[in-house]
Amino acid sequence: MRTILPGILILLAGVLPAQGDTLGVLTRRAVLQLVLDNHPAARQADLRTDMGEALVRSARGGFDPRATVDYDRKDFDDKDYFDLLEAGLEVPTWFGVELYGAYQQTGGQFLDPQNTTPENGLLKAGVSVPIGQGLFIDKRRAELRKSFAYQDMAEAERLELLNQVFYEALADHVEWVAAYKQVIVAREAVDLATMRFQAVRGSFIGGDVPAIDTLEAWLQVQDRQMRRQEAELGFRNASLSLSNHLWDEYLRPLEIARGVVPDTLDL
């Protein structure tokens, strides 16, 4: 099942939005669902499983029941010499024997007595061991065993590949959430430094503190603003790194839009 997140994962130009200016929340679960549904490596892993299942189906075909029909007729000089019909079903088994059932009906003016059947036909059933077919049966069994082994191997490779894809995506997701938390802390630091500067400036105007204190408070505001910009840049870079794992259902790369944030509870 494919999960589409309209309005969240889009290509969008602009600047990193200010606090509170968000488009939506992208959860870890949604990220993993997108990776599972659309990541090229995940799809390749599914193809390996499909190939294994196809090989098993093909090998099992060697043991599928086979319908047989044998019909022979001769007419000459407006005379029905003979009609010979035999229709049956053969069922190969894993043990090398074949179960069979057939219906025979014959007729004609010159029918060989040994081919004569009742008016309503003749039903027969039994077990046969095809002479000289042992090697063929063994080959069919071997092909089926190999197909099961390939299917198991394909599933193991699929899980290994998916684990690697999920690990890389989760590692970048953790960095993304951590980077966003740094942005939150940096923005709060700017707010606190600004409040302190305003308080110090008020005290300076009231004559309670010297002018040098207002300069120190203002420099602290600028330092916190610079740290906030660095945190926002780090968060944007983390968003781009996580975007490398995201694709839409048409295998077009997706970029996490500016303003999309993680769920901080995912870390």
pLDDT of 178-219, one tens digit each?
999 999 999 999 999 999 999 999 998 988 889 899 999 999
pLDDT confidence tier of residue 9, bands split at 50, 70 and 90: very low
Q: How high is the pLDDT of residue 102?
A: 77
Paired tokens of 247: 């694709």
Query: Is residue 82 helix, strand or coil?
Result: strand
Which secondary-structure segment (H or E) carries 84? strand 79-92
Q: How high is the pLDDT of residue 10?
A: 38
58-77: pLDDT as tens digits: 656 566 677 777 776 666 66
Asked whether the whole model's pTM tops 0.85, one would answer no
Q: How high is the pLDDT of residue 218?
A: 95
Q: How high is the pLDDT of residue 212?
A: 92
Mean pLDDT over 251-261 rounds to 90
**Strand order across the 98-107 sheet:** 66-76, 79-92, 98-107, 122-128
pLDDT confidence tier of residue 49, bands split at 50, 70 and 90: low
pLDDT confidence tier of residue 130, bands split at 50, 70 and 90: low
Map out the domains of the chain as residue ranges.
24-55+142-266, 63-139
What are the φ/ψ torsions at residue 21 (nearest 5 degrees)?
-95, 75
User: Strand runs (DSSP E) across 122-211, as ranges?
Assistant: 122-128
Range with lowest mean pLDDT among 28-37, 138-147, 232-241: 138-147
Average pLDDT, the chain: 77
User: CB neighbours of 248 closer than 8 A, spacing ≥ 6?
Assistant: 4, 9, 38, 254
Q: Which residue has the higher pLDDT, 158 or 188?
A: 188
Q: How high is the pLDDT of residue 19?
A: 44
Q: How high is the pLDDT of residue 197?
A: 93
pLDDT confidence tier of residue 54, bands split at 50, 70 and 90: low
User: CB neighbours of 120 closer than 8 A, spacing ≥ 6?
Assistant: none
Fold assignment, 24-55+142-266: Outer membrane efflux proteins (OEP) (1.20.1600)
Q: How high is the pLDDT of residue 263?
A: 92
Mean pLDDT over 124-138 rounds to 60
73-116: pLDDT as tens digits: 666 666 666 666 677 777 776 656 677 777 776 666 666 676 66
